[in-house]
Amino acid sequence: MLLDYFDDLERNTCLRINALSRHGIVRDVFGGVSRLGDYPAWVIFGIICAAYPGTDGRTVVLQAALTGLVGVLVYKLLKERLVRERPFIRHGDIVCAAAPLDRYSFPSGHTLHAVSFSMVYASQVPQLAWILAPFALLVALSRVILGLHYPTDVVAGAAIGAGLAFTSIAVTANFA
């Protein structure tokens, strides 16, 4: 009973947020944000951080690469084990407004990486946090707007990404 209540609550929340994708401009903007969150934005931010005066470019690149690799491994392992269908597959009234990368939705890999890369890069170049944090939030929001994830997929991806980033930052600090 309680699980059904939360399932309905999440579905209804997902429907309300996904309704925004019916507006062409919203769909296009968040589709673009989502595509940038695939990898291009993180490569660009990584180059900026590596080239930023006072940073060790090799450390930034290595830290981001290792954090990203662990993120992919965790994300794939969880998706293969938990096999939660994407919202647009499970609910016919949720619109799929962008092509999914795979069949399953939990956790959101885009959000996981957006949060982990944002935190890692901001730890190296704090001046970029004011750009990185809002961009990561937009990536996370895009996944629900586009009908690709439930809100809890995004929250879980953010929590995992934050955990990976904290670990990466702590390990790097111990070697510095």
Structural domains in the chain, CATH included, are: 2-175 (1.20.144.10)
pLDDT over threshold 70, residue 1:
no
What would the two tokens of residue 32 be?
């673009």
Determine the pLDDT at residue 156: 96
> How does pLDDT run across 66-98, given as a tens digit for each residue?
999 999 999 999 999 998 889 998 888 898 888
Residues 105-161: tens digit of each pLDDT: 999 999 999 999 999 999 999 999 999 999 999 999 999 999 999 999 999 999 999
CA atoms 138, 141, 142, 143: torsion sign: positive
Quickly count: other Cβ atoms within 10 Å of residue 165's Cβ.
23
Cβ atoms of 97 and 21 closer than 8 Å: yes
pTM of the complete model: 0.91
pLDDT greater than 80 at residue 2: no
Report which residue type is found at 156: A
- Give the C-alpha separation, 74 to 60, whole Å: 21
Q: What is the pLDDT at residue 140?
A: 97
Given a contact cutoff of 8 angstroms between Cβ atoms, the answer to whether 10 and 152 are in contact is yes
Query: What's the rounded Cα separation, in Å, for the pair 116 and 111?
Result: 8
Is residue 176 over pLDDT 70? no
- Please choose, from the candidates 68, 90, 120, 130, the residue with its C-alpha nearest in 3D space to the C-alpha of residue 8: 90
Q: Three-class SS of residue 85?
A: strand
Give me the pLDDT at residue 8, please: 81
Residue 116 CA to residue 107 CA, distance in Å, equals 14
Lowest mean pLDDT among 16-30, 117-131, 139-153, 162-176: 162-176
| Site of tokens 């949060």 | 115
**pLDDT tens by residue, 39-58:** 889 999 999 999 999 888 88
Residue pair 102/79 in contact by the 8 Å Cβ criterion: yes
> Above 90 in pLDDT, residue 175?
no
pLDDT at 118: 96
CA distance 50 to 124: 9
Give yes or no for residue 18 having a pLDDT over 90.
yes
